[in-house]
Every structure is written in C-alpha cells, then in structure tokens.
Amino acid sequence: MNLTLKIWRQKGPQEKGKMVDYKVSDISEHMSFLEMMDVLNEQLVNSGEEPVAFDHDCREGICGMCSLHINGEAHGPDRGITTCQLHMRMFKDGETITIEPWRAKAFPVIKDLVVDRTAFERIQQAGGYISVNTSGNTQDANAIPISKHAADEAMDAAACIGCGACVASCKNSSAMLFVGAKVSQFALLPQGQVEAVDRVKNMVAQMDLEGFGNCTNTGACEVECPKEISLENIARMNRELVKASLIKF
C-alpha cells in the first residue's frame, strides 16, 4: 500500500506543534501500525530528518504505551486492541491517515506523539494498593473464600492497562473508567477492604487534582478501551465513594 500520513509534530512541551504530511510506500497489509511507523522513521533517518517520537514497549497489547489517536479514534479503527495490535489491513491503498497524540490537559505533550501520563501513576500511588503481610506468614490466597462472580469481575477490572484511551476518547477528558477499574479490582475482594474507605476518597481526589473532567455518560470510553473495561466499574466507584463518605470514625 501507498499511504499519506498526517502526523502531529511538536519539538517539546512549550513548543508550538503542527501537522506534517509524509508519504510511505510498499506497506504490507500484514504489518502492525507501529511497524509502519518504524518504516517511516527509517525513511526519515536515511534522509537526514528527525524521526517521529512515539511511545511503545511490549508490542503485545499489555503495557499500554502505544497511545496514538488514529483518524479520530483512540488506538485506531478496530475494537478491543491497542495500537501495536492494529494491522495495516484495516486501511486501504492510497488512504490518508491522521495520527495525533492523546488530547487532554492532564496528558501534556512531551514530544510529537508522546504524552506525559504520570497523572495515572499519581492516582495509583494515592490508593491503588492493599496491605500485605510480608513477614513470611502470609495467608494462602486460595484459603480465602471468594465467589466466582466476584473473582471474575475483579479480574475483568484488573485487566486495565492504563493506556489512557478512555481519557482520549472522552469529550471531558474523564479518567473515571481508569479510576473505576482500579478501585473495583480491590473493592470486589476481601483483601481490598482494609484501605477501602481511604482508597476511593484519595484516588478520586487525586483524579480531580490532576485536572481530569467528569464522566459524560456517553460510553465512548468503554467503546474505545482496548481491554473493554465495563462502565459498571464507574458505577461501583461512585457507590464506594458514597459509602466512604457516610462512614464516621
């Protein structure tokens, strides 16, 4: 395939960015989207130009690094996949593809397509953990009775990879699906009850402090989420927050 790429170029956080057009040719339909980007960067380097900066790591749909907004969709025109799992067969010969970074106040651009997502890390640090006895006398997890339904829901919530597609696809740049998933994975299990009250209060407070917007209830986050995290986790987070606010010490 021969393609035209319209890519956001920005030298640094304080620099003014712009869209730049590039041509790539002989792109195989079997390539992943990031492999196509590699071809472009090799072409740029060979011609003495600066390559396009973009995030990537595992390229297996696990790490959540490959955060690209492709033709107006987080991770591109497929569902249940990350950008590294997106293949070029989803596009047509001669097509123009627009590639941008996540657009959110809480995710400032570092360079080109790379954004700073440490806001998610600070939310995690605010409460995304449990108390664990590491003295050598830890209880076997299998000895704690948990219903299969609760275990399955907790595992589904824990599948969140923190890529930020939910934020990028929300018109309010809301992080509530991410925070809801991180709260839910503990709220559904007995191990998560010790810090339950502080967890939801602190994580929601940090989310607001970072500048993320409120939920729009349109469901775009669930649609674009590569791990198909359910909106039910937002409802659960809200219930946990209400419960926490009613508890008196």
122: domain CATH number? 1.10.1060.10
Same-domain check for residues 155 and 44:
no
Contact status, residue 173 vs residue 108, Cβ threshold 8 Å: no
Same-domain check for residues 122 and 242:
yes
Residue-number span of the structural domain to which 197 is assigned? 118-246
Same-domain check for residues 123 and 215:
yes
Same-domain check for residues 149 and 69:
no
pLDDT for position 138 = 67
d(CA 31, CA 35): 6
| E-state strands within 96-245 | 96-100, 109-111, 114-115
d(CA 46, CA 66): 24
Boundary (domain end) residue, out of 79, 95, 111: 111
pLDDT for position 134 = 62
Do strands 3-9 and 96-100 pair parallel, antiparallel, or not at all (unpaired)?
A: parallel
Phi, psi of 22 (to 5 degrees): -135, 150
Same-domain check for residues 150 and 66:
no
Lookup result for tokens 């790490």 = 63
Same-domain check for residues 136 and 48:
no
Same-domain check for residues 142 and 242:
yes
Domain count, the chain: 2
Give burial (CB, 10 Å; 0-12/13-18/19+) of 244.
middle
Same-domain check for residues 93 and 206:
no
> Helix 118-127 to helix 176-187 angle, to the nearest 10 degrees?
30
What is the identity of the amino acid at 24?
V
Phi, psi of 177 (to 5 degrees): -70, -45
| E-state strands within the chain | 3-9, 18-24, 69-70, 73-74, 96-100, 109-111, 114-115
C-alpha pair distances (Å), 66 with each of 90, 96, 138, 187, 189: 17, 20, 37, 29, 30
For every one of its 249 residues, what pLDDT tens digit does the chain have, with 9 covering 90 and above?
999 999 999 999 999 999 999 999 999 999 999 999 999 999 999 999 999 999 999 999 999 999 999 999 999 999 999 999 999 999 999 999 999 999 999 999 999 999 999 999 999 999 998 887 767 666 666 778 899 999 999 999 999 999 999 999 999 999 999 999 999 999 999 989 999 999 999 999 999 999 999 999 999 999 999 999 999 999 999 999 999 999 865
Boundary (domain end) residue, out of 79, 111, 143: 111
pTM of the model: 0.93
Residues counted in the chain = 249
Boundary (domain end) residue, out of 82, 111, 140: 111
Same-domain check for residues 162 and 102:
no
User: What is the DSSP-derived secondary structure letter of residue 77?
Assistant: S
- For residue 100, the SS3 value is strand
Same-domain check for residues 126 and 8:
no
pLDDT for position 130 = 87
Same-domain check for residues 9 and 83:
yes
User: What is the DSSP-derived secondary structure letter of residue 76?
Assistant: -
Same-domain check for residues 16 and 136:
no
